[in-house]
Every structure is written in structure tokens, then in C-alpha cells.
Amino acid sequence: MTDTTTLLDLGPQTRILARLADGVREDRLTDGTPCPAYAVRHLLGHLSGLALAFRDAGRKDLGVTTDTSPQTALPDIGPGWRAELPVLLDELAAAWRDPAAWTGMTRAGGVDLPGSVAGAVAVDELVVHGWDLARATGQTYTPDPAALRACHDFLLASVDDPGRGSIFGPVVPVPADAPLLDRAVGLSGRDLGWAPRPRTP
């Protein structure tokens, strides 16, 4: 996949995501999400794992965190997740404020890729999973505009990429005049009409 995203401050989007995570009630952790294999707790666990992996990818600190595929095991949260996730997200943003993070080669999910592409993937994950988390837990979501634009452009560039199918679902058509977030969500392969199942009393 090609990308032109460089030197984007991830901090505004990571703070939005941290606020969404803080707004998750304990009784919603087992609810479903737009990611079919994930309950809310698994999505939060995935966010922790990707924050750790892309933090180290940005630092070029390659090892277990950057070599492990996210498909290796179902992610989950531990008892200290509420305190740990915001710290990991802050560290992720700090790593990508270093211009060196966006240059040369790095690794994430066991895949070697240019730093600029790894940064774009991180932005995509933060924006799209923010939508997933907000939709699953009934929260309002307004992503950082710069991150949203970068996410949309990255996803749009992936439409004809032969490797897209291993990462994203088929594109869901969205009207051209729809809000940018809706268009990005459709490009990621998500159903904009997804809603949590009614909760039983």
C-alpha cells in the first residue's frame, strides 16, 4: 500500500480514544462490536496491543511486540487496563512525534514496512477502532480531523491493492457526499448500519 502521511501528530486522536475507553462501563465489556470476533473487552485488548506494537515500531525497537501477528490469539484486557491503556496511547503518540519514526524501515504485526506506511496504519487503526468502540458502547465519536483525513486517504489508496483482503473487508458503498467518517468506515469494510443488539433486562 502506498502512503503520503508523514509527521502527523497522533496525540489528538489517542486522547479521543482514551476518553472513549474511559467511558466504557464494566457491564458493556462483553457486548459485541462491529468486529465480528471481538467483544468490547477484546477490542480494548486489541487497542492495548496495537498501541504497544506501534509505539515500538515508531521507536524502531523491534522484538516480540512488533513481530507478533494480531491474529495469533484473541486479545483481552487485564485488571489494570483502565490505567494502562491511556499510558500506552500517550507513549504511542510520543514515539511518532519523532521525525525518525516516519523514515526508513520498521516492523509491525510481523511485517516489515516503511516507517511512513507503519504510521499511516497506526492512524487508520486509531480512527477506525475509535468508531468501533463508540458504536459498540453507545458513545458519541468525533475523531481528530487531521487523523480522519489521513485515515480516509490511506484507505482510499488501498482499494485496488491486491493485499487489501488480508487486512480489510470488502468496501461498503457509501454516498460520495456522506460525511468523511462514514466514507472512511465504508472503505474499511464496515457496515455503517451496525448497531448493538438490544440489551436484555
> What does the pLDDT profile of the chain (201 residues) look like in tens digits?
444 456 899 999 999 999 999 999 999 999 999 998 899 999 999 999 999 999 999 999 999 999 988 778 899 999 999 999 999 999 999 999 999 999 999 999 999 999 999 999 999 999 999 999 999 999 999 999 999 999 999 999 988 776 655 567 788 999 999 999 999 999 999 999 998 876 544
Compute the C-alpha angle 102/66/46, nearest 5°. 100
As given in the structure block, the three cell numbers for residue 71 are 491474529
What is residue 164's predicted lDDT score, i.e. its pLDDT?
57
Compute the C-alpha angle 144/58/145, nearest 5°. 10
What is residue 198's predicted lDDT score, i.e. its pLDDT?
62
CA distance 42 to 28: 12
What is residue 158's predicted lDDT score, i.e. its pLDDT?
85
For residue 108, the surrounding DSSP H or E stretch is: strand 105-108
CA distance 85 to 7: 23
What is residue 73's predicted lDDT score, i.e. its pLDDT?
84
Buried b (16+ CB within 10 A) or exposed e, 154-186: bbebbeeeeebeeebeebbebeeeeeebbbbbb
